[in-house]
Chain A
Amino acid sequence: MEISTSQHAGNLVIHIHANRLDAASAMTFKQAVEAALPDKGAGIILDLAEVSFMDSSGLGAVVAVHKGLHGGQIKVVGLQQAVQELFRLTRMDRIFQCHGSVNEAIKA
């Protein structure tokens, strides 16, 4: 699991370079994202454009990162169809703001 970060208009964007976020990669994901996190309370943009599949462990890891932000918002961007449907079917599309692209997330 590789991640990279970038700054867009003052927002930290964390890019996930993996096509599966599942039991095998969830823990690495969580640790890598937490290591890249800014101060508590700040928000991040999570770029999942490369992720084509996420299972309950993957979703659990995203939720754990969200909790670790202590009130900071996660905006998720670039959801592929399967991941978007999973967010929808678990109501997580109402907990996380979902956007098509980083630019849309910044504007929102």
Chain B
Amino acid sequence: MRGMILGAGKGTRVRPITASIPKPMIPILRRPLMESIILQLKKFGVDELIVNTSYLAPVLESYFRDGFQYGVELCYSYEGELQNGELVGKALGSGGGLKKVQDQSHFFDDTFVVVCGDAWFDLDFKEAIDFHRRSGGLATIITKTLPDDLLVRYGVVKTDDNGRVLAFQEKPPVGTAISNQVNTGIYIFEPEIFNYIPADKVSDIGGDLFPELARQRLPFYAKNFDFQWLDVGNITDIWQVTSDVLSGKITGYPIPGHEERPGIHIGINCVVDLDNIHISGPVVIGSGTRIEKGANLIGPLVIGQNCFIEAGATVKHSIIDDYTFLSGAASVEDRMLYNGYCIDHQGNHITLEEIGARWILQDVREAQVPSDISAQLMDLSGAVPFGDTREKRSS
């Protein structure tokens, strides 16, 4: 079956993570969201996939290539143009992006699936497609019932007893939502849908197409399914989803490494002595990472690959990027260290350069920034490591 992954979004609300990667590449436990999406679609035979790209398109396209590694065929539809040797994105919106593909090749010649590239889900597509075919509509919106306080972020639908959509409301202001049935950004369409999407024009599926179908009283349906759906719309979501996966609230999302002890996942080629660090799961330690005796690791915590954590350092409730060096004088709590940024779970951020913190937090591959006060700070703050690690290191 054919499908499309919407991947052209800029992810403005996910900055600064999306300063260097497009939104579908937001990593959850080091795995880009879109990778999980492809694998889920492939499981149900949706294996010919178009991905529309725009913002940082080459980053996405060179990561996913032709999809061979996932057992699917991937093709990109770039939205923008090359100007003076530089790609300048001009995103067409979800509707405009779909229409562009269809106008080029009439690729969608039968029932097809469209999904947003910024969520993880374990939807049973067989069930969903069966429903769509039984109901016989132009479109089916896969929905979930969410609590009142979350409705402002989404599109909500009102249906009759058969699931036919009577009204569609995009991002309703607080207290005005017509229902609690939320659009998850997963759709099943018939090719006739293209009759209702304008050509060569920016348009949105949720903002333009659905309200138009509802206005014309065309047959389209929305159906609640019982599945896990993790929408990653902002920085807080990244942390929430990561800690929910690690704490077992969300099941089935792959956790990297092998579970050495309950809740402690460790990759290959690590140097860590679990009996001589203070560790409280759930913790993921990426491959190639070295952790000195006397470090304090408190989960939920994700440490990337090839990091080096010195004795005395504390890392708690955080996500640490690959190749991070943490001095013994460092205490990283409720932070995400990503690409030189220090980000709190609400999305406030500052670069390590601006903080002047390179002597306690830096890239392990850089020449180490010397510090004569680390030891003083460690003594002052009581970050005394187990045993005599510091003496050993300096000898």
B307 contacts partner chain A, Cβ-Cβ < 8 Å: no
Mask for A10-47, Cβ within 8 A of B = 1, else 0? 00000000000010000000000000000000000000
Given A60-B373, A81-B350, A89:B381 Cβ within 8 A:
no
B84 touches A (CB below 8 Å)? no
Contact code string B369-395 (vs A, CB < 8 Å = 1, else 0): 001111011001101000000000000
Interchain CA distance A89-B360 in the complex, whole Å: 8
- B356 A89 Cβ-Cβ under 8 A: no
Contacts of A90 in B (CB 8 A): 329-331, 360, 377, 381
* B residues less than 8 Å from A88 (CB atoms): 331, 333
In the complex, chain B residues whose CB is within 8 Å of the CB of A60: 372-373, 376
Q: Indicate whether B146 reaches chain A with its CB closer than 8 angstroms.
A: no
Known: A59-B373, A88-B331. A82 touches B355 (CB 8 A): yes
User: What total of chain B residues lie within 8 Å of the partner, measured CB to CB?
Assistant: 25
B342 within 8 A of partner (CB): yes
Main secondary structure of the interface of B (DSSP, over half): mixed
B354 interface residue per 8 A CB criterion? yes
Name the CB-closest residue of B to A60: B373
Alpha-carbon distance between A29 and B360 when the two chains are bound, in angstroms: 22
**A interface residues, tally (CB under 8 Å):** 21
Q: Is the CB of B356 within 8 A of A53?
A: yes
Distance in angstroms between the alpha carbons of A82 and B353 in the assembled complex = 9
Asked if B380 contacts A95 (CB within 8 A), the reply is yes
Contact B381 A56 (CB under 8 A): no
Residue of chain B at shortest CB distance from A95: B380
Quote the shortest CB–CB distance from B327 to chain A (angstroms): 9
> Quick check: is A85 within 8 A (CB to CB) of the other chain?
yes
Check B338 for interface membership: any CB of A closer than 8 A: no
User: For the complex, is B361 an interface residue (Cβ under 8 Å from A)?
Assistant: yes
Q: Are B361 and A63 in contact (CB-based, < 8 A)?
A: no
Residues of B within 8 A of A57 (CB): 373
A65 is an interface residue with CB less than 8 A from chain B: no
Is B277 on the interface with A (CB-CB < 8 A)?
no
**Per a CB cutoff under 8 Å, which of A63, A86, A92, A95 touches B356?**
A86
Measured between beta carbons, the chain A residues less than 8 angstroms from B348 are 81
**What is the distance, in angstroms, from B266's C-beta to the closest C-beta of chain A?**
25
> How many Å lie between the Cα of A57 and that of B355 in the bound state?
13
Q: How far is the CA of A54 from the CA of B348 in the complex (A)?
A: 19
Nearest CB in chain A: distance from B355 CB, A: 5
- Residue B205 at the chain A interface, CB threshold 8 Å: no
**A92 B357 Cβ-Cβ under 8 A:** no
B371: nearest chain-A partner, CB-CB: A56
Q: Give Cα A108 to B348, complex, Å.
A: 27
- Shortest distance between the CB of A68 and any CB in chain B (Å): 13
Tell me the chain A residues, 71-99 only, with Cβ under 8 Å from chain B. Answer: 81-82, 85-86, 88-92, 94-95
Determine if A89 and B376 form an interchain contact, defined as CB atoms under 8 angstroms apart: no
Is B355 in contact with A89, judged by CB distance below 8 angstroms?
yes
**B121 in the interface (beta carbon within 8 A):** no
Within 314-371 of B, Cβ neighbours of A (below 8 Å) are at 314, 329-333, 342, 348, 350, 354-357, 359-361, 371
Contacts of A91 in B (CB 8 A): 314, 329, 331, 377, 381, 383
30 contacts between A and B (CB under 8 A): A22-B356, A53-B356, A54-B356, A55-B356, A55-B359, A56-B372, A56-B374, A58-B356, A59-B373, A59-B377, A60-B372, A60-B373, A60-B376, A63-B376, A63-B380, A81-B348, A82-B355, A85-B342, A85-B355, A86-B356, A88-B333, A89-B330, A89-B332, A89-B342, A89-B355, A89-B357, A90-B331, A91-B314, A91-B331, A95-B380
| Interface, chain A (partner B; CB < 8 A) | 22, 53-60, 63, 81-82, 85-86, 88-92, 94-95
Other than A56-B374, A85-B350, give 14 A-B pairs with Cβ distance below 8 A: A22-B356, A53-B356, A59-B377, A60-B376, A82-B355, A85-B342, A86-B357, A89-B330, A89-B331, A90-B330, A90-B331, A90-B360, A91-B314, A91-B383
Minimum-distance CB pairs A-B, first 8: A60-B373, A91-B381, A55-B356, A91-B331, A56-B359, A85-B355, A82-B355, A56-B371
